[in-house]
Amino acid sequence: MAMLKSEFAVYAKNKRFDTDHVPPKQPYQCTDLIKVAMDKCWDIHDFTFTLPDKNPRGFAKSLWENFSFYPQLRGKAVRIRNTALFTPKLGDIVVWQGDFIDKKGNQITGEAGHVAYAEGINTGTVRFKSLDQNWGNKYYTSEVNHKYDGIYGVIRMLLLCTITDLNVRSGPGTEYPKVDEYPKGTLVQPLEYYGNWVRVGKNRWVSANYLE
């Protein structure tokens, strides 16, 4: 059974992950943490960031830039852009641009960009917390309090229904008629967000309050 996203956040903290022994001198990369999360939480095994024609060096930023070219993510994830009102949710894979320099002239990321596992702990749209490996010369998984500088957005994977008989409605609100219900443990693909509602199919919406 897949690990809950909240369980993974506890499991991963302060650990070192190396899935491919690359590069040999410092194998504990940010991408390794995300590959382990995919394996344990979403049953996506042996994922690689490398795309021979698009991302031969396995850069982290490719997860956003070449999202549609990763066959293992099709039907299992959605890409959500960083906007003025955006905040990441628990389990989101946060993706940074490559070679980003902030307004003060500080280089935030190198050419490969960066990825991290969001904890769903946010200070509005000012800061958010995530688990990062290989950030700030910490070659293990540590909690970091980030600004939103240089972030493309997030990759949001399948969501788990956490209550029994979750109502599926024809629109984003309780005023819309019920068209179905999901039993506890159902995995759903988030296709679109409207406030606190998630579209999971054509004319099918559920409350985000009951999805993890």
pLDDT of residue 69: 97
Q: What is the DSSP string of 118-164?
A: EEEEEETTTEEEEEEEEETTEEEEEEEEE--TTEEEEEEE-EEB-SS
pLDDT of residue 171: 96
Residues of the chain with CATH 3.90.1720.10: 5-157
Architecture of domain 5-157: Alpha-Beta Complex (3.90)
Q: Domain 159-210 falls in which CATH fold?
A: SH3 type barrels. (2.30.30)
- pLDDT, mean of residues 56-84: 93
Residues of the chain with CATH 2.30.30.40: 159-210
Contact (Cβ atoms closer than 8 angstroms) between residue 96 and residue 61: yes
pLDDT in tens, 201-212: 999 999 999 988
pLDDT of residue 1: 61
pLDDT of residue 30: 97
Task: Report the alpha-carbon distance of residue 76 to residue 95 in Å, rounded.
Answer: 17
* Mean pLDDT computed over every residue of the chain: 93
pLDDT of residue 190: 85
- pLDDT, mean of residues 46-66: 97
Closest CA to 117 of 2, 1, 7: 7
- pLDDT, mean of residues 64-87: 91
Question: In the beta sheet, which residues pair with residue 155?
Answer: 79, 93
Residue of higher predicted confidence among 102 and 141: 141
pLDDT of residue 160: 83
pLDDT of residue 191: 83
pLDDT in tens, 116-161: 999 999 998 899 999 999 998 899 999 999 999 999 999 998 888 8
pLDDT of residue 84: 87
Q: How confident is the model at residue 180 (pLDDT cuts 50, 70, 90)?
A: very high
Residue of higher predicted confidence among 41 and 1: 41
pLDDT at 164 over 70: yes
